[in-house]
Amino acid sequence: MIKQSLLNPEQAVFRQTVGAGDYFIHTVKQGQVFRILDLEGNQAADTLFYSAADTSERYSAMDTIREQSNLYLTAGSILKTNENNDLLEVVADTCGRHDTVGGACATESNTVRYDLEKRCMHACRDSWMLAIQEHEEYGLSKADITHNINFFMNVPVTAEGGLTFEDGISGAGKYVELKALMDVVVLISNCPQLNNPCNGYNPTPIEVLVWG
Ligand SMILES: [Zn+2]
């Protein structure tokens, strides 16, 4: 569902550009709204969310899908935690669909899906691991790297239940905006994947903006 935002980027209290293949980690306070902006188009932002008060409570794909009775995320979606609490609400979306089924890329999945020689390529799981290692203050460990959301990624499910990674439906300037319903740690891998169309075979920067 396409829903525009009324928020003015010039009034944002925080803005950060995240380079192609880089990570982003930041705490968003309850009531704040943040936007992930696809600056150049066709860029997947592989994202994990945690309750800042207790990071063992985190985004849960299965609870979210069950509660909204839909596989895709868009404006109106309430993201649920593994304790079935409300974590975030998608309040604006100019892309229209985001995946939470396909999972994030890892060196292991690159090896299985593409080629043994792809093992040394950058992957989202490594970016998350680097983030939690370089930011010990969040108290996150390897066990906290669980299922995620792929913002801007197009993973349609076929009538037969099949899963395919398709060319992106995002474009330059498209964005998704979420309101924090509790204090939330946001951990993004700006996906470096080069072996499938999730980044249009050309990873590019995103920008994160926060209001409130
Ligand atoms: Zn990735």
| Of 120, 73, 105, nearest in space to 196 by CA | 105
Rounded distance from Cα 118 to ligand 1 centre (Å): 13
Q: How far is CA 35 from CA 7, 133, 211, in A?
A: 10, 25, 9
What local confidence, expressed as pLDDT, does residue 197 receive? 81
Report the Cα–Cα distance between both ends of the chain, in Å, rounded.
24
Show pLDDT as tens, one digit a residue, over the chain (212 residues): 999 999 999 999 999 999 999 999 999 999 999 999 999 999 999 999 999 999 999 999 999 999 999 999 999 999 999 999 999 999 999 999 999 999 999 998 888 888 888 888 889 999 999 999 999 999 999 999 999 999 999 999 999 999 888 888 899 999 999 999 999 999 999 999 888 888 888 999 999 999 99
Question: Any residues with CB less than 8 A from the CB of 161 and at least 6 apart, and which?
Answer: none
What local confidence, expressed as pLDDT, does residue 195 receive? 82
Rounded distance from Cα 33 to ligand 1 centre (Å): 24
Cα 192 → chain centroid: 13
What local confidence, expressed as pLDDT, does residue 59 receive? 98
pTM over 0.75: yes
What local confidence, expressed as pLDDT, does residue 81 receive? 98
Rounded distance from Cα 191 to ligand 1 centre (Å): 4
What local confidence, expressed as pLDDT, does residue 209 receive? 98
Rounded distance from Cα 193 to ligand 1 centre (Å): 5
Q: What is the CA radius of gyration of the chain?
A: 16
What local confidence, expressed as pLDDT, does residue 112 receive? 85
Rounded distance from Cα 175 to ligand 1 centre (Å): 18
What local confidence, expressed as pLDDT, does residue 82 receive? 98
What local confidence, expressed as pLDDT, does residue 196 receive? 81
What local confidence, expressed as pLDDT, does residue 169 receive? 87
Rounded distance from Cα 10 to ligand 1 centre (Å): 30
What local confidence, expressed as pLDDT, does residue 12 receive? 98
